[in-house]
Structure 1
Amino acid sequence: MDNRIYFVLVALCAALVKAQDPEIVDEIWPEVQQVGRTGRINCTVTNKQTSVVMWEHVDTGEQISRDTDIEMQLNPMIGGLRKYEVQKRSSGDRETFMLIIRRLVETDAGTYKCTIRITAVAYDQWPTKLGKITVQVPPTIRPGETTAVLQIDQGQNSSLICAASGIPSPNITWTKSDGGFLPVGVAQYRSHILPMTNVTVADMGVYRCVADNNIKPPAEHLAQVLIFHAPATRVVQNSVGQAQNRRFDGKLECIVKGHPEPTVTFERLINQGRAPLNDDDKYEINKQTTDNQNLKAGEQWYTLKVKNVQANDFTDYYCIATNVNGRHESTITLFETMECQGPNCPSLPSARASLLRLSALAFIPTILLLLRHIVLAR
């Protein structure tokens, strides 16, 4: 036989044998699912014959299955089904082995290998293909690495840090809760670090960082920024009117800001001097605990109630705030009016009520006359 013919026949035989060997015929498409859902990846083989199709988690080195049998020792029931399952579908000489992983957790992510184990063939000659499962995880804030409270002197530099994790990695956006501009001069700033440069009292307030990776829900964190500064006071009204000798009260209101939080006292002008005021039968000092829309960041609302206003109560009153950085005060004048002032004044009878009373009085003579006739008739 011609040598050329011999080699052609050998090559044809080898090709025929090779064509009958098992092989993986399709790519294993990557799977992307959110945490808690079900992941599925397919491995399609031809000419399987007596060989075995195996799934392995490459990142952990765990052998998952042999054909449709699960090899893992831990395969818990979830909603009536096992966490791991392999389903087989056949079409001619093609068989697809679908690996199913239920209730995905972050550790289920990674690379998976489909291998055809062929008897009497060396291990490194077994057909293999790789697939990938990505487990998407909603963002979370890492508290120990995230700024909760920042205290800083005026003119100093620092930063706020918002550390978050998630898959894919979340974008982090900073805003100020009152809608104002950030120290960097914009209303929004995208970074896990917000620079605080040459800070002023205007930079005080609550800052919000939001971590979002399009996997709901986004994560949110609030950080408080406190700037050390001397107190400042302002009044709601610099003069308050009230009528005297009618058991009416006068309410004087003062708004205070400072850090550390100032000590607030009240005084009044008397005999060309000033006298301190305390809670007693005549005066009542309160710090408002309810949120008020008129308050700015770091402000506190104080009230002084002057009870049962008399003639000698009409004078100037002083709201004084003091902390380690300084002192500030504002003046409120209480003056006399003819009628009661404020929301707690007694209401006057309405015109309709007065008209009804007059109408009722008009019927009294008629009623008396009818009663007289009744008595005489008896």
Structure 2
Amino acid sequence: MASFIIEYFTLLIFFLSLGNCQRTPTISHITQEQIRDIGGQVDLDCSVHYAQDYPVLWLKYDRHKSTESLPLSTNSGLIIRDSRFSLRFDAASATYTLSIKDIQETDAGWYLCQVIMSVSNKITAEVELQVRRPPIISDNSTRSIVTSQGESAQMECYAGGFPPPKISWRRENNAILPTGGSIYRGNILKMNSVHKEDRGTYYCVAENGVGRGARRNINLEVEFAPVVTVPRPRLGQALQYDMDLECHVEAYPPPAITWLKNEVQLSNNQHYRISHFATADEFTDTTLRVITIEKRQYGLFTCKAQNKLGTAQGTVELFEMIIPVCPPACGQTRYAGAAPAPAPRRLPALALAAALARIFSTRY
């Protein structure tokens, strides 16, 4: 009988020890994906059973570079020295809790709970920590663009951040976009045929609900041939007085502007004074002042504008009048390299009377 009892307990101990040997470590629970704001806090739980004799680790790793991982803790102790990290172990639930406070953007990523049984035998579970980040427009986005009228063009805008930002396009002063409407949504703004009216500043706006969003100003320059307009095609002035002839030029790139009379190019001298005033990259006002007009200076004058895309011109006719036009015939003006223009002279009494008579007869 005694030998039977001994054999029974021996078998019982054997089967109990065999059952214990078959109990391999298991991870019964790990925290689901977490989303936090910068500066917040998060707790990552990992419940591990039957792992008393094995190291249990928390690691941070890069999914794209699986060989690169950073061990954070082993069993109930931290490996890294960072006051923002802490570790708790609850023996009742066999749960290892990794806490992170004052969350930074660099804390985003995948966290791995791992039990190491041998060099080639490990069990793991993972959880992703997403950190909300305001949008940042990427360097591969368009900064500026130059194209010619009639050609196609496109602007690209990409942004990082979490949640992934949405991209929209606007124009300065809410002007209509080439695609129609005042807002276009998408990473690429494409224009099939650019017009000179499309030039200006475009805004790429990235928004994801975090912070105030991000914006980039993109300048679109459209190259086009000159367009010349003449505000006053016919001008009259009396002999020996000055007169200003004007042309407005619109072109990009800025054109070379010349004034001609009888196909001869004019230059600054005692008879003429040429000035250009650029009001913007595409707009130039040019003025030719005819100084102390002589009889031979009446006639047609041409202002000509030329850039790599074409040429345009306008004409102004200067004709003789008896009564001087004021301005620019008022007072004296001294020009660099030229004698002062004479003060308005008195018209002969007979000529003045005849002019007044013509005016009177015309009106009545």
For the criterion TM > 0.5, the same-fold answer is yes
Aligned counterpart for 1:64 among listed residues 72, 75, 98? 72
User: Percent identity among equivalent residues?
Assistant: 21
Contact 2:57–2:73 (Cα < 8 Å) also in 1? yes
Contact 1:83–1:103 (Cα < 8 Å) also in 2? no
Following the alignment from structure 2 to structure 1, what is the Cα–Cα distance between the partners of residues 72 and 237?
Answer: 85
Q: Which runs of 5+ in 2 are unaligned?
A: 1-15, 63-67, 334-364
The corresponding residue for 1:323 is 307
Aligned counterpart for 2:284 among listed residues 297, 301, 304? 301
Aligned counterpart for 1:232 among listed residues 223, 227, 234? 227
**What per-residue deviation string (whole Å, max 9, x for no partner) do you get for residues 41-67 of structure 1?**
332759998987632114343211135
Which TM-score applies when normalising by structure 2? 0.61
Matched to 1:164, the amino acid is Y
Provide the secondary structure at the position in 1 that maps to 2:260: strand
The corresponding residue for 2:266 is 277
Pairwise CA RMSD of aligned residues?
4.9
Whether 1:287 and 2:312 are equivalent positions in the alignment is: no
Aligned counterpart for 2:257 among listed residues 247, 261, 264? 264
Whether 1:162 and 2:156 are equivalent positions in the alignment is: yes
Q: Cα 1:51–1:253, aligned 2, differ >3 Å: closer, same or farther?
A: farther
**What per-residue deviation string (whole Å, max 9, x for no partner) do you get for residues 168-216 of structure 1?**
3332223344644333333332222222224444444444333333344
The corresponding residue for 1:146 is 142
Matched to 2:42, the amino acid is R
**What per-residue deviation string (whole Å, max 9, x for no partner) do you get for residues 108-153 of structure 1?**
3222134578x99x965x7x6532211335222324x636324245
Contact 2:253–2:282 (Cα < 8 Å) also in 1? no
Provide the secondary structure at the position in 2 that maps to 1:214: coil
Contact 2:136–2:161 (Cα < 8 Å) also in 1? yes
Following the alignment from structure 2 to structure 1, what is the Cα–Cα distance between the partners of residues 300 and 43?
Answer: 81
Q: Cα 1:54–1:243, aligned 2, differ >3 Å: closer, same or farther?
A: farther
Following the alignment from structure 2 to structure 1, what is the Cα–Cα distance between the partners of residues 147 and 72?
Answer: 53
Which TM-score applies when normalising by structure 1? 0.59
Provide the secondary structure at the position in 1 that maps to 2:31: coil
Q: Cα 1:130–1:328, aligned 2, differ >3 Å: closer, same or farther?
A: same
**What per-residue deviation string (whole Å, max 9, x for no partner) do you get for residues 318-339 of structure 1?**
3211234432122446687554
The corresponding residue for 2:127 is 131
Aligned-pair CA distance for 1:233: 1.1
Contact 2:34–2:130 (Cα < 8 Å) also in 1? yes
Matched to 2:154, the amino acid is L
Following the alignment from structure 1 to structure 2, what is the Cα–Cα distance between the partners of residues 314 and 261?
Answer: 30
Aligned-pair CA distance for 1:280: 4.1
The corresponding residue for 2:42 is 40
Following the alignment from structure 1 to structure 2, what is the Cα–Cα distance between the partners of residues 244 and 98?
Answer: 96
Q: Cα 1:101–1:55, aligned 2, differ >3 Å: closer, same or farther?
A: farther
Contact 1:207–1:225 (Cα < 8 Å) also in 2? no
Matched to 1:100, the amino acid is I
Whether 1:28 and 2:31 are equivalent positions in the alignment is: yes
What are the within-5 Å matches in structure 2 for residues 248-259 of structure 1?
252-259=245-252
Contact 2:250–2:284 (Cα < 8 Å) also in 1? no
Contact 2:134–2:161 (Cα < 8 Å) also in 1? yes
Contact 2:138–2:158 (Cα < 8 Å) also in 1? yes
The corresponding residue for 1:86 is 86
The corresponding residue for 1:5 is none
Q: Tell me the matched-pair count.
A: 302
Following the alignment from structure 2 to structure 1, what is the Cα–Cα distance between the partners of residues 234 and 263?
Answer: 18
**What per-residue deviation string (whole Å, max 9, x for no partner) do you get for residues 211-233 of structure 1?**
33334441314142424x43211
The corresponding residue for 1:111 is 110
Question: Which moves more between the two structures, 251-260 or 85-94?
Answer: 85-94
Aligned-pair CA distance for 1:166: 0.3
Following the alignment from structure 1 to structure 2, what is the Cα–Cα distance between the partners of residues 345 and 56?
Answer: 88
Following the alignment from structure 2 to structure 1, what is the Cα–Cα distance between the partners of residues 260 and 293?
Answer: 17
Q: Cα 1:252–1:53, aligned 2, differ >3 Å: closer, same or farther?
A: farther
Q: Cα 1:142–1:92, aligned 2, differ >3 Å: closer, same or farther?
A: same
Q: Which runs of 5+ in 1 are unaligned?
A: 1-12, 76-81, 292-297, 347-378
Following the alignment from structure 1 to structure 2, what is the Cα–Cα distance between the partners of residues 68 and 252?
Answer: 90
Matched to 2:268, the amino acid is D
Provide the secondary structure at the position in 1 that maps to 2:228: strand
Following the alignment from structure 1 to structure 2, what is the Cα–Cα distance between the partners of residues 319 and 178?
Answer: 34
Following the alignment from structure 1 to structure 2, what is the Cα–Cα distance between the partners of residues 306 and 250?
Answer: 6
Aligned-pair CA distance for 1:101: 6.0
Following the alignment from structure 2 to structure 1, what is the Cα–Cα distance between the partners of residues 100 and 302?
Answer: 75
Contact 2:243–2:289 (Cα < 8 Å) also in 1? yes
